[in-house]
Chain A
Amino acid sequence: MGEFITFPELLIWLPLIAGLLSFMLKKEGAAWTVSFVFSLAILAVSAASLFYTDPKFLAYNNVNYYYPNNIGNTFFVGLDGTSRILTFLTALVYPLIFLSIKKDEYKNASSFYGLLMLSQCGIMGVFVALDALLFYIFWEVALIPIYFLCSKWGGERRVQATFKFFVYTFAGSLLMLVGIIYVYLHTPPKVFENGTQTLHSFSYAAFSNAGLSAGDQSWLFWLFFVAFAIKMPVFPLHTWQPDVYDQANGPATMVLSGVMVKMGLFGVLRWLLPLFPEAVGKYNHLVIVIAIIGILYASLIAIRQDNLKRLVAYSSIAHIGLMCASIFALNITSMEGMMLQMFNHGVNVIGLWIVLDIIEKKTGAKKISDLTGIAHKAPVLTIFLFVIAMANIALPLTNAFPGELLMFTGLFEANPWFAAISGLGIVFVAIYILNLVQKVFYGETNTLTAAINDIGFSQKLSLAIIVVVIFAIGIYPQPILNLAKESVPVILGKLGM
């Protein structure tokens, strides 16, 4: 243990190095190349970690560095099934984002790429941390580069919108910090390998054996849940999201909606459920109801949206709401479906953002009513968009189909009404997505869209990869489900099921 550099460590340190390097590079092209090459390397590491899942590698993948610390937190990172899915997703989307923005010009592009890579470092850290304090640190650290990214590059009202986002999440995470401190003070003493001892410890094992009373659990549950719900975001804590997605620049939005919102879901899976089993049993139906209200609310707003970016934002809230509901359905089917869907949603939504980002950069417009007939001018883009849109509606053969099928089956097992009402959400998705495709891409061209030319090679490549992934998982979702199967029984076992 700890003799070699391990996968989780590489996943954290490589982006950090890449980020710092690209800050220092004056030439913007060089900064892009460095970031891109590093993100490919990270993808390779992450892919390798998918294959070395043999139990004998498990010890290798869990690293625990003790450094003399009298409050008992350690640098403890590791990969299990859930983290593998999400680290792979994170590793996969970064090269795609870099590909899609190769031709774009940003002011101070070196810092732009650097901040992107630093955000990846924080996100990876969240997914691999097995120490509560380390988790919290990465949780916050992931936020800072995103804050600068969204505030520096983007629409006119970006600074206010991003700041709202920052204050929301910062307040939420501070509440979680209070919860972490409380649980920490109830953990048993820990003896380290070198014989020193601390009264309490932040390690995952200690946290899940803290032995909290049911009364404590019920308020701690909400302290943690609020932090995760803001990040996801779940109704009624979602109000930051449409503003930020609308105002922030394309790549930052992709990172936010593709990967960062998964941090909230991941937090629920990794920390909330195992830590507070009794409170989960008490409140799970309440959470499902809130999530379902959110699905309907967000879908209805999305139908009435004229702003493309806000439309995708609300659709994302609806999708995340469904995933949140199916976590709390607490059965194997729903959870496996949800883990599969976390991956799919990340890929699909990033595909959607890439297309919207291209359109916005080419035309400067982001209103549905301003755009029409893009298909005439950009046929390739339209084909890609069509596939991605179908995946959003979860048509069979696309990746979202098996995921949503499993989630609905699981919700149905919990309570048929949940499945029935949240199923309405699917219908709404079809309405607004088809509406979008029809109005924006078909019909006659107007003055704005007449000048459009089709997309370049690097953008084609990134969208093509997304489409391939969509079909590959749509036809054969088993590899990801296998990873999910590894974690789900463990989580449910902690809940006593």
Chain B
Amino acid sequence: MGILMMFTGAFVKNRAVPRYLAIAGAILLFLANAIELKQGQPLFHINIYDMLKTSSYSLGFLAVMIGCLILLFLLSGEDIERVGHDVGEYFALIFFVMCGVAICATFNTLLFLFLGIEILSIPLYILTGSNKRNLLSIEAALKYFLMGSFSTGLLLMGIAMVYGGTPNASFYIASIDVGNTATSPFIIIGLILMLVAISFKVSAAPFHFWAPDVYDGAPTVFTSFMSTIVKVAGFLAFIRLFENSFGAIHKDWQKLIVVITIATLFIGNITAIFQQSVKRMLAYSSIAQAGFMMLALFALNDRAKEGMVLYAAAYSIAAIGLFGIVSRMNEFTISDFNGLGKTHPVVAFTATIFLLSLTGIPLTAGFQSKLYMLTSVVENSNQVWLVIVAVIFSAISAYYYFRVIQAMYFKEPNTEDPVELWNINGWFKSVLILLAILTIIIGIYPEWILGWLYYW
């Protein structure tokens, strides 16, 4: 069962090789995942007492994330090399994180959930601080580490509580089964602690305070990685844990999710309006998008799970593209985007498509994913007011996304202090166009991705 982990682990040996190997590795990983999805059984059999468990949903989801990783490498591989000397290490660390992601997608015991989240987090602390010459980067890493270890503590405590509360004292998530017995207070406390811990990982308010500083301080490529693939993995863990273990008392903890969702949407969107730096704006918007993804957790039905996958793909592709562009700029306040439509038409055009997708305009992937999310919420509970709140924040988000579009197309470029985009070569442009095309294909024909979730 643990093949995915094994595969990623194998790449540790290649720490000194350049990014081509990393890309090849990621593609290999993707293929392995796809084969496994197609066969419906794991490639290798290693006896780990059923502590990891795959389903076509988790594998499909994982395929999306590995696909995004490949796109990230293709687009920003060079930026990773630019961060510092230890190029190989960065790639290796990213693969370690992916190992954690794979565990998050397949865990079957609380122990492995903890393991997955830790394997995912620790390399991230290093990546955040990888730009050793930049004080902000180091500050961000320290902040992330302190807050992260705190939340890890909470998670561990929650796991212990739940373990103690289960009738037969087992770590297997299915055996928690709170439906039959009277729910013990241990389980409730454990549930809340775990909710807080994972909310922290996905930067949901009010546990989001680390996110803007960390996203802003970290080198842009790693921000891109953290705020897309890693965050989405957190959501996958969230869904799997809460569906399998606490599904029976869904109605009770749903109320907590409502509070978190609205707070996240509010803080993310409102704060993003006031940002001048595009990178920081994207960081806050990433919090806002997390609020939308929380809706999947609220509804927790089939459509919500489909919506989650779509959202993961739509959001990751758009954000990877935008961060990719930002990482090629020396400065990235909104006014630095002025006149980009004239100086770099391809970059500006693709950036527009990504921004439209994040806003949720039809024909882009962002629209389909928001449609699925909203539909799932109404389907689950008929709570239309929550949906109305969500769409109002979605309209607000148009404000800050469109500011960038306005700057790119309707303002003249700064003549005295032109912005330099380094190394915009044909390769970079064609990957951007590929991302834009993917965004539109998913927007018109989402079944292209969703079909894989029901392969077996």
Chain A residues packing against B (C-beta within 8 Å): 67-71, 133, 136-137, 140-141, 144, 148, 151-152, 158-159, 163, 166-167, 170-171, 174-175, 177-178, 181-182, 184-185
A414 CB to closest chain B CB (Å) equals 32
A159 CA to B409 CA, complexed, in Å: 10
Asked if B399 lies at the interface with its beta carbon under 8 angstroms from chain A, I say yes
A75 CB to closest chain B CB (Å) equals 10
Asked if B209 lies at the interface with its beta carbon under 8 angstroms from chain A, I say no
A198 CA to B319 CA, complexed, in Å: 32
Say which residue of A71, A137, A163 sits within 8 Å of B362 (CB atoms): A137
Contacts of A182 in B (CB 8 A): 378, 384
| Cβ contact within 8 Å between A174 and B391 | yes
| Cβ contact within 8 Å between A140 and B361 | yes
Contact with A along B351-373 (1 / 0, CB 8 A): 00000100001110001000110
Asked if B252 lies at the interface with its beta carbon under 8 angstroms from chain A, I say no
| Cβ contact within 8 Å between B391 and A175 | yes
Asked if B402 lies at the interface with its beta carbon under 8 angstroms from chain A, I say yes
Say which residue of A69, A136, A151 sits within 8 Å of B406 (CB atoms): A151
| Cβ contact within 8 Å between A181 and B387 | yes
Task: Pick the most buried of A141, A174, A182, A185: most chain B CB atoms within 10 A of its CB.
Answer: A174
B387 CB to closest chain A CB (Å) equals 5
30 contacts between A and B (CB under 8 A): A70-B447, A71-B371, A140-B361, A140-B362, A148-B409, A151-B406, A151-B410, A152-B409, A158-B410, A159-B410, A163-B402, A163-B406, A167-B395, A167-B398, A167-B399, A170-B398, A174-B391, A174-B392, A174-B395, A177-B371, A177-B391, A178-B378, A178-B384, A178-B387, A178-B388, A178-B391, A181-B371, A181-B375, A181-B387, A182-B378
Contacts of B398 in A (CB 8 A): 166-167, 170
A278 CA to B371 CA, complexed, in Å: 27
| Cβ contact within 8 Å between A137 and B363 | yes
Asked if B74 lies at the interface with its beta carbon under 8 angstroms from chain A, I say no
Asked if B379 lies at the interface with its beta carbon under 8 angstroms from chain A, I say yes
| Cβ contact within 8 Å between A175 and B388 | yes
| Cβ contact within 8 Å between A177 and B374 | yes
Interface size on B, residues (CB 8 A): 28
Contacts of A144 in B (CB 8 A): 356, 361
| Cβ contact within 8 Å between B447 and A69 | yes
Within 8 A of A (CB), among B427-448: 445, 447
A67 CA to B447 CA, complexed, in Å: 10
Contacts of B306 in A (CB 8 A): 70
Contacts of A133 in B (CB 8 A): 371
Closest 4 CB pairs of A and B: A174-B391, A137-B362, A171-B395, A140-B362
Asked if B286 lies at the interface with its beta carbon under 8 angstroms from chain A, I say no
Contact with A along B383-394 (1 / 0, CB 8 A): 010011001101
Say which residue of A136, A137, A158, A171 sits within 8 Å of B392 (CB atoms): A171
A67 CA to B394 CA, complexed, in Å: 29
Say which residue of A148, A151, A178 sits within 8 Å of B374 (CB atoms): A178
Closest residue of chain A to B377 (Cβ to Cβ) is: A181
Closest residue of chain A to B406 (Cβ to Cβ) is: A159
B443 CB to closest chain A CB (Å) equals 9
Contact with A along B315-357 (1 / 0, CB 8 A): 0000000000000000000000000000000000000000010
| Cβ contact within 8 Å between A185 and B375 | yes
SS of A interface (majority): helix
Chain B residues packing against A (C-beta within 8 Å): 306, 356, 361-363, 367, 371-372, 374-375, 378-379, 384, 387-388, 391-392, 394-395, 398-399, 402, 406, 409-410, 445, 447, 450
CB-CB under 8 A for A70 and B391, given A137-B362, A185-B379: no
What would 4 more interface pairs be, CB under 8 Å, given A151-B410, A170-B395, A181-B371? Answer: A137-B363, A159-B406, A167-B395, A174-B391
A423 CA to B56 CA, complexed, in Å: 66
Contacts of B379 in A (CB 8 A): 185
A181 CA to B306 CA, complexed, in Å: 16
A55 CB to closest chain B CB (Å) equals 33
B355 CB to closest chain A CB (Å) equals 12
Closest residue of chain B to A136 (Cβ to Cβ) is: B362
A151 CA to B411 CA, complexed, in Å: 10
Contacts of B387 in A (CB 8 A): 178, 181
A272 CB to closest chain B CB (Å) equals 18
A71 CA to B376 CA, complexed, in Å: 11
| Cβ contact within 8 Å between B410 and A166 | no
A184 CA to B372 CA, complexed, in Å: 12
B226 CB to closest chain A CB (Å) equals 29
B137 CB to closest chain A CB (Å) equals 35
Contacts of B391 in A (CB 8 A): 171, 174-175, 177-178
CB-CB under 8 A for A141 and B388, given A177-B374, A182-B378: no
| Cβ contact within 8 Å between A67 and B388 | no
Contacts of B394 in A (CB 8 A): 174
Contacts of B399 in A (CB 8 A): 167
A249 CB to closest chain B CB (Å) equals 13
Contacts of B447 in A (CB 8 A): 68-70
Contacts of B363 in A (CB 8 A): 137, 141
A171 CA to B395 CA, complexed, in Å: 5
A488 CA to B63 CA, complexed, in Å: 52
A284 CB to closest chain B CB (Å) equals 24
Contacts of B402 in A (CB 8 A): 163, 166
B177 CB to closest chain A CB (Å) equals 29
A200 CB to closest chain B CB (Å) equals 9
A387 CA to B384 CA, complexed, in Å: 51
Contacts of A148 in B (CB 8 A): 409
A184 CA to B379 CA, complexed, in Å: 10
A167 CA to B397 CA, complexed, in Å: 10
B334 CB to closest chain A CB (Å) equals 13
A342 CB to closest chain B CB (Å) equals 25
| Cβ contact within 8 Å between A184 and B375 | yes
Contacts of A167 in B (CB 8 A): 395, 398-399
Contacts of A69 in B (CB 8 A): 447
Contacts of B372 in A (CB 8 A): 71
Contacts of A140 in B (CB 8 A): 361-362, 367
Closest residue of chain A to B370 (Cβ to Cβ) is: A177
B30 CB to closest chain A CB (Å) equals 24
B365 CB to closest chain A CB (Å) equals 13
B445 CB to closest chain A CB (Å) equals 7
A144 CB to closest chain B CB (Å) equals 7
A266 CA to B224 CA, complexed, in Å: 44
A106 CB to closest chain B CB (Å) equals 14
A13 CB to closest chain B CB (Å) equals 15
A460 CB to closest chain B CB (Å) equals 34
B56 CB to closest chain A CB (Å) equals 15
A77 CB to closest chain B CB (Å) equals 16
Contacts of B406 in A (CB 8 A): 151, 159, 163
Closest residue of chain B to A69 (Cβ to Cβ) is: B447
Closest residue of chain A to B451 (Cβ to Cβ) is: A68
Contacts of B395 in A (CB 8 A): 167, 170-171, 174
CB-CB under 8 A for A71 and B410, given A144-B361, A170-B395, A170-B398: no
A71 CA to B446 CA, complexed, in Å: 10
Contacts of A184 in B (CB 8 A): 375
A184 CB to closest chain B CB (Å) equals 7
A140 CA to B445 CA, complexed, in Å: 18
Contacts of B378 in A (CB 8 A): 178, 181-182, 185
A16 CB to closest chain B CB (Å) equals 12
